[in-house]
Structure formats: C-alpha cells, structure tokens
Amino acid sequence: MDVYGLLGNPVSHSLSPPMHEAAYRELGISARYVTFEPESEALEAAVSGADALGIRGLNVTIPFKRDALSLVESDELATRIGAVNTIDFGGSSQKPTGHNTDAAGVRRAFEHHGTELDGTQAVLVGAGGAGRAVAFALAEAGAVVKIANRTKERAENLANAVPRASGHGLDDLPNLLADAEILVNATSVGMDDDRSPVPSESLSSQLTVMDIVYRPLETRLLREARAAGAETIDGAWMLLFQGVEAFELWTGREAPVGMMNDALRGELSGEADAFK
C-alpha cells in the first residue's frame, strides 16, 4: 500500500484526506492519505523520515511551505514563488523534488470555468503567501497582473518578482477594476466575518471573480459579484485543482476530478450543516 500525506500544523480540519482517498477508491489504487503535525524545529527530520519510510508524496501547508523549499530539489516555478506545497519522493533525484501546485490550482480552476487568462487584465487583492502563488499563476498564463495590498510597498515588492505586474494600494481598486477582466481575492477577508475586500460598486458584469476563501463557500465578495452580473469561482475550485495536480504528479494517472470534487464539497456541505 502506498502512503501519501499532508505536513502542516495544524492539519486536523484538512479537507485533503477525503478528497485524495475518494480518488484512490475510484481508480482502485491501494493507498492511504494521512496527516502529520510536526513542530517547526522537526520539519527537516519529518521530511527525511518520510523519505526513509517510503512515503510516496506529501502536501505541505502552513507554516512549512517556505521552509520546505530548502529541503528538496524544487522546480523552477516553486523556486520563483518561494514556497513548496507538494513533495514527490518517487523521482530519480537524490533529494525529494518540490513543487507548488497552488499555482496550477488557480490556472486549472479558471480553465474549468472556460475563462481565458492569456492577454487579460487581472487584479489581485493580497500580496501574502497565497497572493504570491496566485500572482505567478496569472502571469504564467499570460495575464497582466495588478496587485493591490493594504501595504503598498509589499505589493510593489511582489510585483518586482512577477512578469508584467505592478503594485498598488487598496485605494486604487476602483480605478484598477475599471478595465479589468479578472479579479482574485487572495486575502482571508470574508473567512471569519461577512466582509469583502473590494467595494461592491467597483464590481461589474465584465469580471470573472475568484475568491480563494472556501470557508464559507459563498463569501460576501462572491455574492456581490454575482449580483453585479460577474462570473464567480469559489475557493474550493483552487483547493480541488491543487490536489488534482498533486495526485497526477505522484501517481502519473489522470485524476477523477468529478469524484474528488464531490468528496470535497460533501465535506464542506457537512461542515455548513453542522453550524446551522
């Protein structure tokens, strides 16, 4: 039996296990997906131990994505993003190989909804770790990326690392969105309260709006975007497709996307029902 897993702290509420195990069942793969919660000082030992134990692959989440970069042979995109969220122990390299499937998750989520990114004007809200992966995903797909952040300097620093990107403060959002076709929220605004990082009057039907927040699935930003006639993409799609990308990297097989999506949304629906 092959073993895959998730490395982070905390990971008790992760949605990755049911999503991946649904794929194993669907394809008849003898495998399990488990979670590990090492302390920060034990990260190197955890990665080395996983390799020694024959674990085939690990996803990596908060707070280890940046630190994992130095422990593996990272691909070019993960190196440029500065974070690893997927480790593959099955390659021929002397060291495990590191990848960032968050960027692929963004790109594939837009593709799934029939949204072309090449040549578009994209506005990204947030310049943190998640925003960095989104910015590179949009730029790699050919978009011109305008990054808006509460701290303008942080947006400018990220823009300096991303092709065809510029950095702005949040006050610039109305002007930036006037000509935009893509809007992505990569902040946590809307996760714990009913707020939106974007003024509702700046939203329009010319936009496709993605919110990477998936708890709740329908954030205030997405509600207001839909009311303005925009196409909307909830955060579960990015979560799904980063997992799909990792599954295909590890197994070399085409992922059963529909089954993984059903498992993921079933878990999220159960969570929502529990709070009613």
At residue 272, the pLDDT reads: 62
Same domain for 127 and 223?
yes
Domain of 123, CATH number, reads: 3.40.50.720
Same domain for 107 and 211?
yes
Q: Which residues of the chain have pLDDT under 50?
A: 275-276
Active site residues: 65
Same domain for 88 and 41?
yes
At residue 275, the pLDDT reads: 47
At residue 238, the pLDDT reads: 98
pTM value is 0.94
- Total structural domains in the chain? 2
Can you give the three-state secondary structure of the chain, one letter per residue? CEEEEEECCCCCCCCHHHHHHHHHHHHCCCEEEEEECCCHHHHHHHHHHHHHCCCCEEEECCCCCCHHHHHCEECHHHHHHCCCCEEECCCCCCCCEEECHHHHHHHHHHHHCCCCCCCCEEEEECCCHHHHHHHHHHHHCCCEEEEEECCHHHHHHHHHHCCCEEEEEHHHHHHHHHCCCEEEECCCCCCCCCCCCCCHHHCCCCCEEEECCCCCCCCHHHHHHHHCCCEEECHHHHHHHHHHHHHHHHHCCCCCHHHHHHHHHHHHHHHHHHCC
At residue 95, the pLDDT reads: 80
Domain that includes residue 72, residue range: 2-99+237-274
Same domain for 108 and 227?
yes
